[in-house]
Structure 1
Amino acid sequence: MITREAVAARILELCKEKDITMNGIANLSAIPPSTIKNIIYGVSKNPGIVTIKMICDGFNISLPEFFDSELFYNLEQEIK
């Protein structure tokens, strides 16, 4: 798995865990629903840390909590 896929999977994981839809987390995060969908569906190849932080704020979690997931522990090397 590569980083952008792990970010998308983590957002979906948190949505399921907290029973929030993609549109719901977009509203809670004060970002357009299209931004969430672009991350989830791979249109956005490099979601920025500010966007991820806003998503964390919507979930009411910290950045360390977001990245504290098995999804991020063994990511592939991005630069080859």
Structure 2
Amino acid sequence: MYENDYASFVSRRIIEICIKRGDISIYELSKISGVKLSTIQNIVHCNTKNPGIQTIHKIANGLNMTISEFLNCPEINKYEFKDEEIEEYVKNS
């Protein structure tokens, strides 16, 4: 799970914030964000490689953060998408 790809960074960010906010469980995050539990589980377990911006937005709002605050961490800020990732995203959009 802890690789150096975008999905891993997003997963770690969710876990980090939930711990800092008083050990919010994935179930609780689902309830406060309005995102299905299975969706959050898939993101946290890196089964979802490219979580959508709407999903990230809902998760951030559930954590009383803006999407900018959620995505503002060194790992994500330094991340550079590879051509294959961009092509995959375009293909699946």
TM-score above 0.5, yes or no = yes
* RMSD of Structure 2 on Structure 1 (CA): 1.2
User: What residue ranges of structure 1 are gaps of 5+ in the alignment?
Assistant: none
Number of positions where the alignment pairs a residue of Structure 1 with one of Structure 2: 80
| Counterpart among 44, 51, 54 of residue 48 in structure 2 | 44
Q: What is the TM-score with the length of structure 1 in the denominator? A: 0.90
The aligned amino acid for 1:24 is E
CA offset at residue 46 of structure 1? 1.1
| Counterpart among 5, 15, 30 of residue 8 in structure 2 | 5
User: What residue ranges of structure 2 are gaps of 5+ in the alignment?
Assistant: 85-93
Identity between Structure 1 and Structure 2 (%): 31
Which structure carries more relative contact order (alpha carbon 8 Å, separation 6+)? 1
Which stretch has the larger CA shift, 21-30 or 69-78? Answer: 69-78
Q: What is the TM-score with the length of structure 2 in the denominator? A: 0.79
Distance 1:61 1:36 in 2: 17
